[in-house]
Amino acid sequence: MKSSILKYVVIGTSLLLSSISSFTALAESSVWKVSKGNDHIYIGGTVHILPASEFPLPKEFEQAYKKSDAIVLETKLPDANDSAFQMKMMQQMAYSDGKTIADVLSVNTHKQLSQYISALGVDLAMFERFKPGFLMTMLAMLEAQRAQLSGEGVDIFYSKKASQDNKAIEYFETADFQMNMIAEMGQGNEEKFIKSNLEQMKDFKTMFLGLLKAWRAGDTKQLNKLAIEPMKDDPETLKALLTDRNRNWISDINKMFTDNDKEFVLVGVAHLVGDNSVLSLLKAKGYRVDKL
């Protein structure tokens, strides 16, 4: 299975969170205008972990934001000070009844995991009760920090900005939905899931920068090659993380064309590339899609 959760953490879901500033000179970015008749909205592909060197964002993001009455995000980002939510999340992401990740892995794979976590300067005991999806999400966050590439992503940036500007914020999904999705990742396929992700962790920085470069340039072919094609080796994960959710969102986007507001939809850029992307589904329904 090549569908590394690393790529999904970077450019997929928004629940969890080297200068390449020369890319700001590129004329294109991951923002599209979607039109039907005389009405239109904007859709922007986001990166959920973004180093400070990537700001300011490409001008197309700000152009779309200024022309919109509301932004639409994947889910409402939980308040870091919400202890009740944090406790609920930890309960859902952790095994119960004393079960640990060692119980679902071979001795050899568990040893590799332990050695990898130790190399990060962390004790495996801190993570051993977490389910595979959340465990690898946390390790991806630690890798981003180690590579000095972590930071608040596009979603958080515009969530804060819209709040400050008193601009409406809407959401496709609940936090509970996304929690459940992460908790289910790798379940029943833990051995292959952990081994595949550990292998790809070895090249985290190169992978991250490659995805970031393609996102910044709006290079859909490269994004598809890096983020979507490898996931086809694991169709169940691809379906749960991207395809099903893309299809669910289309009905919500259709409704945006029945009101007078202009929305700026902001979702992980992995949702906007490939044959079953949000943009491809909209084109199939007769919408016109133009890159800004």
Q: What is the pLDDT of residue 8?
A: 46
pLDDT at 22: 30
Distance CA(227)–CA(143), nearest Å, equals: 18
Domain segments of the chain as ranges: 5-291
Element (H, E) at 223: helix 220-223
Query: How far are the Cα atoms of 15, 40, 180, 250, 277 from residue 247, in angstroms, in the given order?
Result: 20, 19, 18, 5, 8
| Whether 30 contacts 263, CB under 8 Å | no
Instruction: Quickly list DSSP for 227-275.
Output: IIGGGGGSHHHHIIIIIHHHHHHHHHHHHGGGSS--EEEEEEGGGGSST
Name every residue whose Cβ is closer than 8 Å to that of residue 228 and which is 6 or more positions away in sequence.
Answer: 238, 242, 270, 273, 274
Radius of gyration of the chain (CA): 19
pLDDT of residue 251: 95
Tokens representing residue 142 in the block: 């630690």
Residue 196, pLDDT score: 83
Tell me what pLDDT residue 17 has. Answer: 35
Q: What type of residue is 277? A: S
Lookup: tokens for 152 = 């608040």
Contacts of 123 (CB under 8 A, 6+ apart): 117
Task: Tally Cβ neighbours within 10 Å of residue 87.
Answer: 10
**Prior bond of 78 cis (ω within 30°):** no
Nearest CA to 44 out of 57, 32, 56, 62 is that of 32
Cβ contact 1:33 at 8 Å: no
CB atoms within 10 A of CB 120: 13
DSSP structural state of residue 69: S
DSSP state letter for 165: T
Does this model's pTM top 0.85? My answer is: yes
**CA dist., res. 47 & res. 10, Å (int):** 6
User: pLDDT (tens digit, 0 to 9) for every residue of the chain, 292 residues total?
Assistant: 344 444 444 444 444 432 222 333 334 689 999 999 999 999 999 988 888 888 899 999 999 999 999 999 999 877 767 788 888 888 899 998 889 999 999 999 999 999 999 988 888 888 899 999 899 888 888 888 888 888 888 999 999 999 999 999 999 999 889 889 989 988 888 998 898 888 878 888 888 888 899 999 999 999 988 888 877 877 877 888 899 999 999 999 999 998 888 999 999 999 999 989 999 999 999 999 999 9
